[in-house]
Amino acid sequence: MDVQKEIEKLRRELEYHSRLYYVEDAPVISDYEFDMLMQRLKQLEQEHPELITPDSPTQRVGGQALSKFEQVQHQVPLESLTDVFSLEELYAFGERMDALLAEPHGYTVEPKIDGLSMSLEYENGVFVRGATRGDGLVGENVTENLRTVRSLPLRIENAPARLIVRGEVYMSKAVFRELNAEREARGETLLANPRNAAAGSMRQLDPKVAASRKLDIICFNMQYSSDSIYTSHAQTLDAMKAMGFPVVPYQRYERIGECVQRIEWLGEHRDELAYDMDGAVIKIDSLSQRAALGSTAKAPRWAVAFKYPPEKKESRVLDVVVQVGRTGVLTPKVIVEPVRLAGTTVSAATLHNQDNIDRLDLRIGDTVLLQKAGEIIPEVLSVNKAKRPDWAVPFVMPDICPECGSPVVRDEDGAALRCTSPECPAQRLRNIAHFASREAMDIEGLGISVCESLINSGLVSSAADLYYLEAEKIAQLERMGEKSAANLLTAIENSKSAGLARLLCAFGIRQVGQKAAKVLASYYKDLDALMAATAEELTLIPDIGGITAGFITEWFSLPQSMHLIGRLREAGVDFASHEERRDDRFAGQTFVLTGTLSRYTRDEAGAIIESFGGKTAGSVSKKTSYVLAGENAGSKLTKAESLGIRILTEDEFEDMIR
């Protein structure tokens, strides 16, 4: 078969099966068969790069990272909707439509997905551009990030010459829970809700980051078609579905009362949907009637969005328990009498911290008002003190960890309590995953899932256990084998020579990240010299303040820390510093790197600056000493110029480091 024809055939097959899998949830081939088709296409495109096209399935994560998003003028404005908050307002909308439209008129009702609104442009059936809503008139070009959304067709059949579709990018509830679990295990800040997670993912400058977030899209409007053959909104939705778009589920009704019944039904069943919805949309169906009604300065007259009020219910407090999270934070949780709330049975709710308990004045035996934050996480809104029993007493958080008995410390902001033990069972997964991470010991192949398997199998209970693993036992784990086990052991063995800076970062001492670890390693020849230092001595080092010095000495004073260090020493882990400190010519100076450097990577340039006693920062401020600017420098360069900060070329930088 002709190569180009085979490539075209493979692309059509892959798009067809992607649609069945991601849009219709009805795959007809196995994942393996799909992967084999994709591998064959990749092979042919590698052999014939001149045949690669932007709409090829291989290009979904093929874009380069951007320095910023370009602006896009919308051909058709992306209008917002007028919100209504009561059934009376819905009936009033229907009466208004009856008064304005003499002829009969129907309505469509759709769930209002809580995501990020997008404009999608197609030319001759090929996806060419996607942009955020922005202010409705101008948005941001996020085409490369949209290509990573598997449910978005890159090519459509039987399409008009030009087509613009409006859709909503969202993160499913299941993916949101999975992403937050991974972030918690890595000790990262949890995402607030699926909507914010989707918006943040879509605005990542690197498409590979957006791809890792497993976003979806659902389309709800045909903005423009060069084939003006449609007379109703329902027709356009059906046509879009036939073209391969994931389309919002809708119902069509003749009377406003039927629409209200449907909206009430959606509200009762919204917890069953895969995505968050923050309301329901009711629209006039006829396109000609829409045109006659027109829009106000802010929104179309022919549609409204009904916003559901968050459901709230009372329940009685049975107990308050304290859980230790994977980052070591002690979190109080209230146990309540089970109550049905927003579609699920709730028997517990987070109390966040002692400050929140004090604010609520919550006690065991109290009657509390509950709701779901973001429709997902149960929380306590208030206490009904009129129903408080006489025997109720205030709850106070413990001063030792309930999991391991180690002392707990309060965060600087005074909100959270944190366990100090590096070997606390509750923190096991997070600590081991962090120890192996790229910025720490950089053990390739030891991600969250492998760490979890090692812990669940009983092979590992602390980071030190990694250096005592046996290949035969690793090979028996799920999704592992002899080769994977051998590769993992090689990576672990290689990490022994990572050096003091990486080891300090791996320990997870509070406020000792990559930069502080490098600074410490440049002042002390090995771990033993650092352990012998007093807090006062540590504060003499630039960037090590009194609080950080206290955290360091406190960590080394714990018996659990000494046990960990002893086992690492016995395993042969290198405690010596590999950091080269040339001199202090950049002491007290802060550099910001921007643009593309031709002679160094940013990491290499940063390491050179630190070796001369300087430090790097991610943003420009009045405290910035220099900005080292490469090609295509963006907003950081502009801000530096406005503040009068010295801009360095690479030649000038090399003069300074000679």
Could you tell me the sign of the dihedral formed by the alpha carbons of 439, 577, 430, 325, in that order?
negative
Share of the chain above pLDDT 90, in %: 38
Query: According to the model, what pLDDT value does residue 413 have?
Result: 60
pLDDT above 60 for 435 = yes
State the pairing for strand pair 107-113/251-253.
antiparallel
What's the rounded mean pLDDT across residues 511-517? 86
In percent, how much of the chain has pLDDT > 70? Answer: 93
> Do the domains at 82-306 and 590-657 have one common CATH topology?
no
What pLDDT shows up at residue 251? 96
Span 470-478, average pLDDT:
90
Which CATH fold would you assign to the domain 82-306?
Answer: D-amino Acid Aminotransferase; Chain A, domain 1 (3.30.470)
Higher pLDDT, 271 or 136: 136
Predicted pLDDT of residue 447: 85
pLDDT score recorded for residue 345: 80
pLDDT of 376 over the 70 cut:
no
pLDDT above 60 for 149: yes
Q: What is the residue extent of each domain of the chain?
A: 3-59, 82-306, 313-387, 425-495, 500-571, 590-657
Q: Report how far residue 103's alpha carbon sits from residue 94's, in angstroms, rounded to the nearest whole number.
A: 14
Please state, in angstroms and as integers, the Cα–Cα distance from residue 450 to each residue in 188, 435, 511, 566, 613, following that order: 19, 13, 27, 25, 38
Tally of CB atoms within 10 A around 542 = 13
- Mean pLDDT confidence for 9-17: 83
3-state secondary structure of 268: helix
CA atoms within 13 A on the CB side of 639: 15
- Residue 145: HSE in the Cβ half-sphere, 13 Å Cα cutoff: 29
Q: Which superfamily does CATH assign the domain made up of 500-571 to?
A: 5' to 3' exonuclease, C-terminal subdomain (1.10.150.20)
DSSP, collapsed to helix, strand or coil, labels residue 637 as helix
- State pLDDT tens for residues 310-353: 778 899 999 999 988 766 888 899 999 998 776 668 888 888 88
**What average pLDDT is seen over the chain?**
86
Tens digit of pLDDT for each residue in 78-132? Answer: 998 988 988 999 999 999 999 999 889 999 999 999 888 999 999 999 999 999 9
Q: What is the C-alpha to C-alpha distance for residues 194 and 396, in angstroms, rounded to an integer? A: 33
What digits encode the pLDDT tens for the residues 537-562? 898 887 788 889 998 998 999 888 99
Per DSSP, the residues of 301-314 read TTEEEEPPPPP-EE
425-495: CATH homologous superfamily? 5' to 3' exonuclease, C-terminal subdomain (1.10.150.20)
CA dist., res. 310 & res. 320, Å (int) = 25
Considering the domain 590-657, what is its CATH architecture? 3-Layer(aba) Sandwich (3.40)
Active-site residue set: 112
**pLDDT tens digits along 204-260:** 777 777 888 889 999 999 999 998 789 999 999 999 999 999 999 999 999 999 999
Tokens read off for 630: 């490469």
CATH number of 3-59: 1.10.287.610
313-387 placed in CATH 2.40.50.140: yes
Instruction: Kindly tell me if the per-residue pLDDT of 635 is higher than 90.
Output: no
Q: What is the pLDDT of residues 484-508, one digit of tens each?
A: 899 999 999 999 999 999 999 999 8
